[in-house]
Structure 1
Amino acid sequence: MSALALAACAAPDGSDAIDISDSDSSLVWASWPSYIDEDLSGSSATLKAFKKETGIEVEYKAVVKDNVGFYLTMKDQLSLGQPTGADIICVSDWMAARLIRFGYAQKFDSANMPNKANLTKTLSSPEFDPKREYSLPWQSGFIGLAWNAEEYPKGLVSVEQLWNDDLKGKVVVLAEMRHTMGMLLLANGVDISDGNWGIDEFKKASAVLETHLASKHILGVYGSDYLDKLKSGEALAGFARAGDVAVLNAQAGYEKFKFLLPGSRGTFFTDSLVIPAGAQHKANAEKLMNFYYDPAIATEVVEWIHCVSPVDGTLEYAIENFPKLASNQFTFPNATAMSRASTFRTLSTTDDQSFNAEFRRITGKG
């Protein structure tokens, strides 16, 4: 049984956690690298504004490299309802669903979060948290193909082209099973958002991954550190998040890397904020979420990280203040852009365990 397939019996729900927010104006935020308006010195203008407005000091820790690896660092504390070292965490929706199901997430006090009303309707009622009482979306985004336009100017238009001979040993894929396998399944003609497929289709796609890992055509399977491989030139192409590519180009000062959704489509994901069981600064964390659900603040973050904001009003703010950003279809996608991406379907416990076991067997990840 995988480490994620834990029994939910007698799991804490955070209701017994002691909140010391009234006496301690601080919190720790565990999230992904390059997922906030953070400059090269590590300073965030919005976090400074939050402290000025509320007096709350935030320690932002970019320690989430992949969902499973991060979960394993805190699963023991979560199972006991003890502090994990973070008061608010950012994980993908499927992991948020697990935490909620196991009783590892604290229920929000909506009175501290009036700006929650700005949550876009399309993300307001997921199956795993219908009233968004335990999770709140941070950002969404696209997974597609990326390449170094300087070193590989011929570019890519399909997943199959990743296996070109001139890219041998220069391809990266992602440690998130749904990201990598979603792209490979789509390339095989599988509608990943539809429920009419299972382990047979999964294994057919995973065989492609296994073949190219065994031949060392794929450089490796990475969490967020895949960006380091692209930046260094050790990798020239692979699967990537659109927002990450935008950040790489901003750091380079020009459009060094290209990103597109192949003809077989890309994937669309959402990452959400959760207050873990045992967290002792719950009210402070709720104030933080409320702050970032102000459309002006949310747009400032998007202007840095180029993801898709879940906050209504950001497009209008961007049109007025960041017109170039407002026209970016990977940041403010229209219906045409969204039609080119698919969301990985919700998995049953059986499929989840079998898919992850197969992915782990091949990659050693998860």
Structure 2
Amino acid sequence: MSQKPEPQDPRIASLVAKARASQLTRRTFVAGAGSASLLAFLAACTPGGGSKTLTPAADVSATEKTLSWANWPYYIDQDEAGAYPTIDMFEKQTGIAVTYEEAIPTNEEFYAKVKDSLLLGQDIGYDLVTLTDYFAARMVSQGLMQPIGLADMPNAQANLNPGLLDATYDPGRQFSLPWQSGMTGLGWSTKAFPNGLSSLDELWDPALKGKIAVIDQWTDTMALILQSQGVNIDGEWGDAEYGAGIEVLKKQVSDGQIRAFTGNDYTELFKSGDIVAAIAWSGDIFIMNTEAGADDYGFAIPDKGGFLFSDNFMMPMGSRHKSNAQDLMDYYYEPEVAAQVAAYVNYVTPVAGAQEAMQAIDPALAENKLIFPDAATLDRARVFRQISLQEDKSFSTQFEKAKVG
């Protein structure tokens, strides 16, 4: 990796430098949330009010210029003083005061904190929340979120990446709008694999026994395994196909092929030389190369398909500031604003035009395919069809059992 030219704007340059200096990312916190917490959530999660249909709270935005937003840690631009520059700019432009909280350590923990009010359609203390696809799907299916009103947000309408418009759980984005996205694929040491990797099957080469790590979440790891078996994960498949994929995983565990099931601590295993390849997250590979100052690690979506995840803006039924929330979401779909956030968080931005805007912030980042993947890469990064609560519990249980052989 050649030395990156620094951004010209001193304030933005300091943001980029701060981001490069930290290994903390949003995936640091979601990784290892653990099936125990997930299954506890599943056991406790029942639609509130039985057959009661919830209705959105009255919007008081015209008289209350405020907004509260719950997001993940380290998931927005932040300066050395701890301020959030893009939020500051929004407040100055609109006069809307934003209360921003890093309130989501995991989807499950956040839900546990707000579920009593959420299930009743009451104010949970946040007008906007940022939830991952699988969890967003549950919220939509249970009728706990109000329509976001995409038609009222011209920037979002114009600049949402077309490939993200029709989520399987929310066609047309009636209830959700992507905040940031990421990819799960193959990561490797370029010293061990100077020509890279292209297939998940290459991880199962006996010569790599004990030198492989996989993600400790069924969604990420099984997405790649299922697709390697020819399954279209956003199409029709079920228990039989998943069971066949689990057998693949069991074999690799029993053969000693897999050294570890990890969150993003596989990065340390790479650095120590304990592993040479992994099922990995795109953002981690970017960060490791930035820290190394060279392209020591590679990343690719497997030829048969990888996994695309998004964290999404959503408005709970009890949100009382819908118009204010729409203004904020639409603001973050301005390409220049999206580029500033992407320069800090290093995730895949869902905003068309942000790559061109990034040229003024950091030209090297504008060319980085881990932040701005090309069309061919995105075509191979897929999302799951909608997974029911019962399936999620079953799939997670099977995955946990397979991990111990």
TM-score w.r.t. the length of structure 1 is 0.78
Matched, 1:80 2:117: no
Q: Distance in 2 between matches of 1:126 and 1:346?
A: 9
| SS, match of residue 163 in structure 2 | helix
Partner residue, 2:68:
27
- Superposed displacement of residue 101, structure 1: 1.8
Q: Distance in 2 between matches of 1:85 and 1:208?
A: 45
| SS, match of residue 146 in structure 2 | coil
- Superposed displacement of residue 297, structure 1: 0.6
Q: Distance in 1 between matches of 2:235 and 2:44?
A: 24
Q: 1:134 aligns with which of 175, 191, 198?
A: 175
Q: Distance in 1 between matches of 2:152 and 2:142?
A: 25
Q: Please, which runs of 5 or more residues in structure 2 have no aligned partner?
A: 1-38
Q: Distance in 1 between matches of 2:232 and 2:290?
A: 33
Change (3 A) 1:360 1:91: farther
CA shift digits 1:316-361 (9 cap, x unpaired): 4345665433433343333322343333233466645543443355
Change (3 A) 1:123 1:159: closer
Partner residue, 2:27:
none
| SS, match of residue 269 in structure 1 | strand
Partner residue, 1:246:
286
Are 1:147 and 1:258, in contact at CA under 8 Å, matched by a contact in 2? yes
Taking the TM superposition and a 5 Å limit, the aligned residue runs for 1:229-308 are: 229=268, 233=272, 236=275, 237-308=277-348
Partner residue, 2:213:
171
Partner residue, 2:140:
100
| SS, match of residue 221 in structure 2 | helix
Are 1:199 and 1:354, in contact at CA under 8 Å, matched by a contact in 2? no
Partner residue, 2:234:
193
- Superposed displacement of residue 100, structure 1: 1.6
The residue type paired with residue 398 of structure 2 is E
- Superposed displacement of residue 299, structure 1: 1.8
**Between 235-244 and 211-220, the greater mean CA deviation after superposition:** 211-220
Are 1:174 and 1:240, in contact at CA under 8 Å, matched by a contact in 2? no
**Between 82-91 and 130-139, the greater mean CA deviation after superposition:** 82-91
Are 1:145 and 1:262, in contact at CA under 8 Å, matched by a contact in 2? yes
CA shift digits 1:213-234 (9 cap, x unpaired): 5769342343xx5477558759
CA shift digits 1:17-69 (9 cap, x unpaired): 785894473523223x443334677554323322333352342416344x455
Change (3 A) 1:43 1:234: farther
Q: Distance in 2 between matches of 1:18 and 1:360?
A: 44
The residue type paired with residue 134 of structure 1 is F
- Superposed displacement of residue 280, structure 1: 5.0
Q: Distance in 2 between matches of 1:238 and 1:320?
A: 34
Are 1:87 and 1:275, in contact at CA under 8 Å, matched by a contact in 2? yes
Q: Distance in 1 between matches of 2:321 and 2:278?
A: 39
Q: 1:327 aligns with which of 356, 367, 382?
A: 367
Q: Distance in 1 between matches of 2:317 and 2:335?
A: 29
Taking the TM superposition and a 5 Å limit, the aligned residue runs for 1:212-231 are: 212=252, 217-222=258-263, 226=265, 229=268
Q: Distance in 1 between matches of 2:209 and 2:311?
A: 31
CA shift digits 1:102-161 (9 cap, x unpaired): 1211233568634232223333344533442321122233211224557x6676554344
Kindly tell me the number of residue pairs found equivalent between the two proteins.
357
Identity %, equivalent residues: 32
The residue type paired with residue 340 of structure 1 is R
Q: 1:341 aligns with which of 361, 378, 381?
A: 381
Partner residue, 2:156:
116
Q: Please, which runs of 5 or more residues in structure 1 have no aligned partner?
A: none
Q: 1:143 aligns with which of 156, 169, 184?
A: 184
